Amino acid sequence: MPRLIAASLTSLTLLAMQASAQNVITTPFDGDFDDATFAVESAIMDRGLVIDHVSHVGDMLNRTGADVASAQTIFDNADIFIFCSAVISRHVMELDPMNIVYCPYGIFVAEHEGGVMIGYRSYPEGPMQVVQSLLAEIVGEAAE
């Protein structure tokens, strides 16, 4: 029975990933994972922004695979940099307080099948495009 539940959860997760994959913007990185994470961290901090947290998603997935009856390696490495901009966040939330749902912002670096990519989720049309522009600038600088 536990394997049936795990298989069902895996199927649901894959469907959710496929449905939301079109809401992700990725840029290939010409270099290794460590260089990419350094580049992203530097590009965020160069704007005077503070990284609140680095989520080591790849480590967690690799560490817990056996616990959820999976031998699949999803990423060789994957980190998500979590941060916010007081100026931009205030601006978008003054326009619509419910834009709080998009804060904090995240940029991920992932290594998969020998390639490294940097990415972020896309945001809806309207005020949140200013956040998407910020993320695009950071990723563009990091990928140079």
* pLDDT score, position 19: 42
Q: Give the CATH number for residue 39.
A: 3.30.310.70
Residue 6 in any domain: the answer is no
Domain count, the chain: 1
Residue 74 in any domain: the answer is yes
CA-based nearest residue to 98, from 68, 127, 139 = 127
Structural domain that includes position 78: 22-143
d(C-alpha 143, C-alpha 6), whole Å: 37
What stretches in the chain show pLDDT beneath 70?
A: 1-21
Residue 3 in any domain: the answer is no
Residue 1 in any domain: the answer is no
Residue 13 in any domain: the answer is no
Residue 89 in any domain: the answer is yes
Q: What are the tens digits of pLDDT across the range 62-103?
A: 888 888 888 888 999 999 999 999 999 999 999 999 999 999
